[in-house]
Structure 1
Amino acid sequence: MTESSPAEVLAGRLVVAAGGSVRAVLLYGSQLHGARPGRHSAFDFAVLVDDYRAFYSAQAAAGEMHRPVWLMTWLARVLPPTTIAFAPEGGQAGIAKCLIVSARHFERALGPRPPDHFLLGRLVQRVHTLWAWSEADAAWVASQLAAARADVLTWMIPYLDEAVDAAGLGRRLLEVCYRGEFRPEAQDRAHRIFDTQVDHFRDTFQGVLERGVASGALARQGDSYRPATPASNAERRRWRHYFLRSKTRATLRWFKHMVTFANWLPYLVQKVERHTGRTIVLTRLERTLPLIFLWPRVIHVLLTRPRKEIRS
């Protein structure tokens, strides 16, 4: 019998604590990619649930959540998904940063008219299903991911300024996605993430490019592909506005994280230190009233991000 990985064990504990309300648990992010996760890095989970209230009620009953169920249920419908920390035994059994999302919101986020790019930009990358309620649920998740990846040319063609192969499409996609959020990591983070999943993009996007040629959206140029016709100014404006709206929604979501994600401030400080090599010492006012006094430091970090990530 194959021994379960730490991520699988943690996902199993989350499912048990959720009392039958979870449909699937997906692993994504730096722990999956091996993109220099720190010793204390959290696993990144996307958790699909049947019902928000049932999930949060079960978590509270299991002693794994200390926010009011009514508040978490209400916030679940405001800029979904909701980010929570799952840290059984005070984190001794591992920590997962969980995006909690209903199947309906998940389908919309990966569909042809997503409200923003928050989930889509993360899940067109490499994803592993850690747990699913049934084979049918696993197949449904796989179909949603496949459809989202098959549709990337819809929003990527306006950003293809030069010919690309499958790997090049993946690199450009990450540049666009990372530019669509304010992030504390070094400016070359998208390239580091790309380097860890080149094979995923080659395997996933070669068929996408071929179908683009068949549909007339792309034309071959040697071993690469380019838009058959340049995107119109109207199309470029449409997607520029979409990513601006997405960036705004992602920024507003920070305020929600402050409520739903336990110990969000130490987590954020550790993440910035890990990716920038800086030591951050918060003042007493920043620790006690971060919503008021932390903003100057946040803005400073965003404006002075190093060009290259600190390499261990």
Structure 2
Amino acid sequence: MPVEPLAERVDSALSVPVRSEIAAFAARLAKEANARAVLFYGSNLRSGSLEGVLDFYVLTWGPRERGLWPRVGYHEMETEGGETLRAKVAEMRLTTFAHAASGQHLDTTIWARFVQPATIAWAADDAARDAVASAIRAAAVTAGRFAAALGPERGAERDYWQALFRATYRAELRVEKPGREQQILNFGAEHFEGLIPAAWQAGGVAFARDGETLQPDLSEPERKRILTRWHRRRRAGKPLNVVRLLRAATTFEGGARYLAWKVERHTGVAVPLTPFQERHPLVSAPVLITNYLRARRRAAKGGR
């Protein structure tokens, strides 16, 4: 039985190997969370670099979550060579992730993020790997369907991606520089090329192709139905993300260490932390600022 183009593309993307240090970090995160799978994504996937902050999604067992998700934290791991790796880690149940990827939830962040390049850095077994692949295929179908309605009546594949990403940026609480969608498409050109037609085919969206020009065949009632669903998501997007940010301000695990590292990275000034400050970054923010100013003054005196 032939494999459909979208499934083949997703399986290939999720099988991209990662550096041994990243695989080890993913395995440690998986063990700590009793995870089913760990996704690795972001700029470090593209570059292969270990610099800066790595991005992981840890997908765990259990029924679909209610309320806000994911939980986000900052983690560090020292490699065998003595290098400190840093990561922003989001954690949610795989069932929740799959539901969001399918577009059934008002949240747009999961399918909009994971229609972009990502790979499985760790999986518990083949069943977990297959479940993740199914969710990523659903994310592509969801993105393709919204792109068909939000994009032009006919145009190049890139036109549909641009329309989609611009719309998701407006719906989310994100301030992106003009042309950010161009950067994403340029960096992931090989990933995105041909993905819209594959997603349309898998999602049952008929379309015509004339060279590089695509034309989705949406009836007017179907287009209106998709746009109505999109408008609900656009209206809910910013309030949903405001609440999520407020929650993260009090639950971001390792937030104080993350802020201290960012300050040291950008200023060269190390900010000392007590155990209490690590556990309560929001309450301790004024103290952290005072410690930073004090450390900066000491560093300035020592430099004279």
Q: Calculate the TM-score normalised by the size of structure 2.
A: 0.68
> Is this contact kept in 2: 1:181–1:250, CA < 8 A?
yes
Q: Does 1:155 align with 2:146?
A: yes
CA distance in 2 between partners of 1:95 and 1:24 (Å): 19
In the other structure, the counterpart of 1:12 is: 27
CA distance in 2 between partners of 1:141 and 1:210 (Å): 20
AA in 1 matched with 2:169: Y
CA distance in 1 between partners of 2:137 and 2:223 (Å): 27
1:33 aligns with one of 34, 46, 57: 46
Say which is worse superposed, 128-137 or 189-198, in terms of deviation.
189-198
Percent identity between matched residues is 26
- What number of residue pairs does the alignment pair up? 253
> Is this contact kept in 2: 1:166–1:209, CA < 8 A?
no
In the other structure, the counterpart of 2:72 is: 83
SS at match of 1:190: helix
> Is this contact kept in 1: 2:39–2:56, CA < 8 A?
yes
In the other structure, the counterpart of 1:71 is: none
Q: Does 1:206 align with 2:197?
A: yes
In the other structure, the counterpart of 1:165 is: 156
AA in 2 matched with 1:198: A
Against the structure 1 CA distance between its residues 234 and 168, is the aligned structure 2 distance closer, same or farther, given a 3 Å change threshold? closer
Say which is worse superposed, 132-141 or 143-152, in terms of deviation.
143-152
Deviation at 1:257, TM superposition (A): 1.3
| Equivalence map 1:169-180=2 (5 Å) | 169-180=160-171
> Is this contact kept in 1: 2:50–2:85, CA < 8 A?
no
1:288 aligns with one of 278, 286, 289: 286
In the other structure, the counterpart of 2:86 is: 95
SS at match of 2:133: helix
1:43 aligns with one of 43, 48, 54: 54
In the other structure, the counterpart of 1:136 is: 127
Deviation at 1:95, TM superposition (A): 1.5
Deviation at 1:141, TM superposition (A): 0.8
SS at match of 1:87: strand
> Is this contact kept in 1: 2:75–2:254, CA < 8 A?
no
AA in 2 matched with 1:146: R
CA distance in 2 between partners of 1:111 and 1:236 (Å): 16
Q: Calculate the TM-score normalised by the size of structure 1.
A: 0.67
After superposition, what is the alpha-carbon deviation per residue over 1:123-176, rounded to whole angstroms, capped at 9, x for unaligned? 111110000000121112112211221332322222112533334433333222
SS at match of 1:95: strand
> Is this contact kept in 2: 1:44–1:96, CA < 8 A?
yes
AA in 2 matched with 1:220: R
Across the aligned residues of Structure 1 and Structure 2, the Cα RMSD in angstroms comes to 3.9
Gap runs ≥5 in structure 1 = 53-75, 278-284, 291-312
In the other structure, the counterpart of 2:276 is: none
Deviation above 6 Å: which 4+ runs of structure 1?
268-271
AA in 2 matched with 1:136: A
Say which is worse superposed, 229-238 or 8-17, in terms of deviation.
229-238
> Is this contact kept in 2: 1:24–1:48, CA < 8 A?
yes
CA distance in 2 between partners of 1:134 and 1:34 (Å): 27
Gap runs ≥5 in structure 2 = 1-16, 267-282, 289-304
Against the structure 1 CA distance between its residues 183 and 14, is the aligned structure 2 distance closer, same or farther, given a 3 Å change threshold? same
After superposition, what is the alpha-carbon deviation per residue over 1:168-222, rounded to whole angstroms, capped at 9, x for unaligned? 433333222222222244333222122110111114223234567x744x34354
Q: Which has the larger radius of gyration?
A: 2
AA in 1 matched with 2:141: A
Against the structure 1 CA distance between its residues 266 and 233, is the aligned structure 2 distance closer, same or farther, given a 3 Å change threshold? farther
